[in-house]
């Protein structure tokens, strides 16, 4: 007879202790393993059985396979030499907060279904709002990712035009519903396009505004595009400005964009998924200039505030519009407290939600505001140091300003004048660097140029890691030449 019931407590305690030891050891020795695995597609799948085990297995066997099967296929985002995309950290307090959250395993759809989850989210997001010096009337809500936060912001922007009544009538087959147009710069994140797909606006309704030589949206072009679209009989409804674009971390001129939005009565959404965290550093507050005038703003504590993935926050000064867009309460979800409390299910597509605020609370309390500021400031300084080394080197050039902790550069040695040849060289350089598996960089394209990105954001990254990485890049270029 198979047993019923959960894992016995004594076994949980023993297995739990060995897993915590395993995690502590992993964190301690992460330096000693390559950041990138040597792994062919399908390699793990081939080693795993085709069906789940018929009888249960001992925890010990599972933990062993964590080392023998899973570890070899891991790309270590916690590695101090992870410089690709945007570098992140599953910090100690964050991991522990995640563990406590898993233990509670609540569903915070309603205040009633776990009052502390709703209230801790309200309080910690209010702490975060103050740390970021955002206006008092900005209210926060946690979603999984910036993509989903922006999707909700754009849905609220559409809802704000109540005359169209899209919530009830939809957009299809309606001669009285003009094409709705959404604006962002050519450097905006692809999640904005995806939001347009998901919301039924269509990709052709996303107008990409050209950027200047520092990769910032040109407000004059934005104003012209809006005028042109209005002439066509279309309906501009939302502008997305980016503070810290994904390719180069450029900052759109939010103040000038806000002027246009105000004049044209458009919803202003700011995507600060990566860059937003830097606003807790007093001397970096300027990055949010004009953001107090936004209708909504997204930033990701899971990117650069040391909270484990996933954790994104949407702040909005118009929560009632967001709620109007998504509130829908079937009888079985009514509670006696509905009039007195916030029910987070009213603010989005998802009903169930996990207790994410717990890990933010752990991180904010453990490091404290001063501790977090010091850590982000350190990353900003490390990036400036690297930018300096690149600027001094005759065979490399920096490809964009460095307002945050990400440096865009490429090799440009003497004797190669063909742009295409230069692109091939840099593509091969990136491949060679990553094939060492000792460091991990990624790339982007700026215009026609292939560019390498070096993103600093892990708590374990120190000056010595950056200087070794820089040495590896130079060595690999030498070998290629």
Ligand X SMILES: *Cc1c(COP(=O)(O)O)cnc(C)c1O
**Token pair for residue 300?**
């990701």
Whole-angstrom Cα distance, residue 296 to residue 156?
A: 9
Q: Which of 84, 157, 164, 273 is close enough to bind ligand X by CB under 6 A? A: 273
In a 3-state reduction of DSSP, which class is residue 396? Answer: strand
Closest approach, Cβ 400 to ligand X, in A, equals 14
Identify which of residues 128 and 146 has a Cβ nearer to ligand X in the complex. 146
Extract the runs of DSSP E, i.e. beta strands, from 255-381. 267-271, 296-299, 312-316
Alpha-carbon distances of 132 from 69, 138, 286, 288, rounded to whole Å:
42, 11, 11, 9
Q: Which of 35, 146, 209, 357 is close enough to bind ligand X by CB under 6 A? A: 146
Closest approach, Cβ 192 to ligand X, in A, equals 8
The answer to whether residue 242 forms part of the interface with ligand X (CB under 6 A) is yes
Query: Cα-flanking dihedrals φ and ψ of residue 398, to 5°?
Result: -85, 140
The answer to whether residue 274 forms part of the interface with ligand X (CB under 6 A) is yes
Closest approach, Cβ 129 to ligand X, in A, equals 19
Q: Which of 78, 87, 113, 312 is close enough to bind ligand X by CB under 6 A? A: 312
**Token pair for residue 230?**
């209005």
Q: Which of 121, 159, 221, 271 is close enough to bind ligand X by CB under 6 A? A: 271
**Window of 116-124, 244-252, 342-350, 427-435 that interacts with ligand X by CB under 6 A:** 244-252
Nearest to 216 by CA among 275, 262, 157, 294: 275
Identify which of residues 316 and 343 has a Cβ nearer to ligand X in the complex. 316
Closest approach, Cβ 441 to ligand X, in A, equals 16
**Window of 144-152, 157-165, 331-339, 405-413 that interacts with ligand X by CB under 6 A:** 144-152
Nearest to 161 by CA among 266, 271, 295, 297: 266
Taking residues 155 to 174 in sequence order and writing x for each that binds ligand X by CB under 6 A, - otherwise, the string is: --------------------
Identify which of residues 166 and 273 has a Cβ nearer to ligand X in the complex. 273
Nearest to 188 by CA among 208, 203, 213: 208
Closest approach, Cβ 279 to ligand X, in A, equals 14
Alpha-carbon distances of 329 from 56, 109, 318, 321, rounded to whole Å:
41, 11, 20, 16
Q: How many residues bind ligand X (CB under 6 A)?
A: 15
Identify which of residues 189 and 465 has a Cβ nearer to ligand X in the complex. 189
**Window of 108-116, 269-277, 346-354, 451-459 that interacts with ligand X by CB under 6 A:** 269-277
**Window of 93-101, 238-246, 333-341, 357-365 that interacts with ligand X by CB under 6 A:** 238-246
Task: Find out whether the peptide bond into 310 is cis, omega within 30 degrees of 0.
Answer: yes
Say if strands 180-185 and 396-398 run parallel, antiparallel, or are unpaired. unpaired
Q: Which of 246, 248, 296, 317 is close enough to bind ligand X by CB under 6 A? A: 246
**Token pair for residue 214?**
């520092």
Q: Residues 228-235: contacts with CB within 8 Å, 24+ apart?
A: 229/181, 233/178, 234/178, 234/179, 234/180, 234/181, 235/161, 235/164, 235/178, 235/179, 235/180, 235/181
In a 3-state reduction of DSSP, which class is residue 444? Answer: strand
Q: Which of 78, 113, 145, 296 is close enough to bind ligand X by CB under 6 A? A: 145
Closest approach, Cβ 239 to ligand X, in A, equals 15
Whole-angstrom Cα distance, residue 109 to residue 85?
A: 32
The answer to whether residue 247 forms part of the interface with ligand X (CB under 6 A) is no
| E strand or H helix at 431 | helix 419-435
Whole-angstrom Cα distance, residue 401 to residue 412?
A: 17
The answer to whether residue 189 forms part of the interface with ligand X (CB under 6 A) is yes
**Window of 32-40, 141-149, 328-336, 401-409 that interacts with ligand X by CB under 6 A:** 141-149
Closest approach, Cβ 247 to ligand X, in A, equals 9
Q: Footprint of ligand X on this chain (CB under 6 A)?
A: 86, 145-147, 189, 191, 242, 244-246, 271, 273-274, 300, 312
């Amino acid at each position: 007879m198979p047993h019923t019931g959960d894992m016995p407590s004594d076994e949980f305690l023993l297995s739990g202790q060995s897993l915590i030891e395993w995690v502590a050891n992993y964190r301690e020795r992460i330096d000693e393993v390559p950041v990138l695995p040597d792994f062919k597609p399908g390699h793990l799948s081939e080693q795993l059985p085709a069906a789940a085990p018929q009888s249960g297995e001992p925890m010990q066997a599972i933990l062993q396979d964590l080392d023998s099967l899973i570890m070899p296929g891991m790309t270590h985002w916690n590695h101090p030499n992870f410089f690709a995309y945007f570098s992140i950290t599953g910090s100690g307090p964050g991991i522990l907060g995640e563990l406590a959250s898993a233990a509670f395993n609540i569903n915070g759809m309603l205040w009633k279904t776990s009052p502390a989850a709703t209230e801790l989210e309200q309080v910690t997001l209010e702490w975060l709002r103050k740390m970021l010096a955002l206006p008092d009337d900005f209210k926060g809500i946690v979603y999984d990712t910036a993509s989903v936060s922006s999707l909700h912001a754009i849905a609220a922007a559409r809802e704000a035009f109540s005359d169209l009544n899209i919530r009830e009538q939809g957009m299809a087959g309606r001669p009285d519903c003009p094409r709705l147009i959404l604006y962002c710069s050519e450097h905006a994140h692809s999640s904005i396009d995806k939001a347009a797909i998901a919301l039924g606006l269509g990709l052709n309704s996303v107008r990409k505004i050209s950027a200047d030589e520092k990769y910032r949206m040109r407000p004059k072009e934005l104003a012209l595009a809006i005028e042109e679209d209005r002439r066509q009989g279309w309906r501009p409804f939302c502008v997305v400005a980016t503070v810290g674009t994904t390719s180069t971390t450029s900052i759109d001129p939010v103040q000038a964009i806000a002027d246009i939005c105000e004049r044209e009565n458009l919803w202003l959404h700011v995507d600060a998924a990566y860059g937003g965290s830097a606003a807790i550093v007093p001397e970096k507050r300027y990055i949010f200039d004009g953001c107090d005038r936004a209708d909504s703003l997204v930033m990701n504590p899971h990117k650069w505030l040391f909270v484990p993935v996933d954790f994104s926050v949407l702040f909005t000064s118009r929560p009632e519009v967001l709620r109007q867009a998504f509130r829908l309460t079937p009888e079985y979800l009514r509670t006696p407290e509905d009039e007195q409390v916030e029910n987070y299910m009213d603010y989005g597509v998802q009903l169930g939600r996990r207790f994410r605020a717990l890990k933010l609370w752990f991180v904010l309390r453990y490091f404290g505001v001063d501790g977090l500021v010091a850590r982000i400031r350190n990353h900003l300084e490390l990036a400036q140091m690297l930018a300096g080394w690149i600027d001094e080197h005759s065979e490399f050039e920096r490809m964009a300003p460095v307002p945050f902790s990400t440096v865009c550069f490429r090799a440009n040695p003497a004797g190669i004048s063909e742009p295409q040849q230069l692109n091939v060289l840099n593509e091969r350089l990136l491949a060679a660097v990553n094939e060492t598996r000792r460091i991990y960089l990624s790339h982007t394209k700026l215009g026609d140029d292939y560019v390498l990105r070096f993103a600093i954001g892990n708590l374990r990254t120190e000056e010595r890691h950056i200087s070794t990485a820089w040495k590896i890049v130079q060595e690999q270029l030498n070998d290629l030449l």
